[in-house]
Amino acid sequence: MERTFVIVKPDGVDRGLIGEVISRYERKGLRITECKMLRADRATLEKHYIEHREKPFYEELVSYMMRGSILIMVVEGNNAIKLVRNINGKTNPMEAEPGTIRGDYANSITENIVHASDSPESAEREISIWF
């Protein structure tokens, strides 16, 4: 079994899309093994987004993620990382395929409903930061 880390971002929570996000993963045969709603603090977000620290969008991203509640979860299953990222769709919602979470619901690169780990290493790192 592979594990990955997912965040339903503030726009997804505010728009009532938590159930939709979870049900898409579950319908694909994935399991939510840990789940928690919280408001992220700056220190945790800085650890999580460390690789983006020098990028021009960093401050906007951290501020946005502190704006409201988020749902964090560990998702498990065969090929969980790739499956979750395929279900989520491309980061840029203008490029995301219809039928993906971002293709169906997102309208901004920053406010794009969900985050998911991109590799086994980042999944374990992100899980250890948040859980």
Could you tell me how many residues make up the chain?
Answer: 131
The catalytic residue among 61, 112, 115, 117 is: 115
Task: Determine the pLDDT at residue 103.
Answer: 98
| pTM (whole model) above 0.85 | yes
DSSP 117: -
Q: How far apart are CA 86 and CA 67, in angstroms?
A: 27
Task: Determine the pLDDT at residue 91.
Answer: 94
- Encoding tokens for residue 125? 């790192």
Q: What is the DSSP string of 91-102?
A: SSTTTSPBTBHH
* Domains of the chain, each with CATH number or no CATH: 2-130 (3.30.70.141)
Q: Per-residue pLDDT for the chain (131 aa), expressed as one digit of tens each?
A: 999 999 999 999 999 999 999 999 999 999 999 999 999 999 999 999 999 999 999 999 999 999 999 999 999 999 999 999 999 999 999 999 999 999 999 999 989 999 999 999 999 999 999 99
The H or E element spanning position 33 is strand 31-38
Does 48 qualify as catalytic in the annotation?
A: no
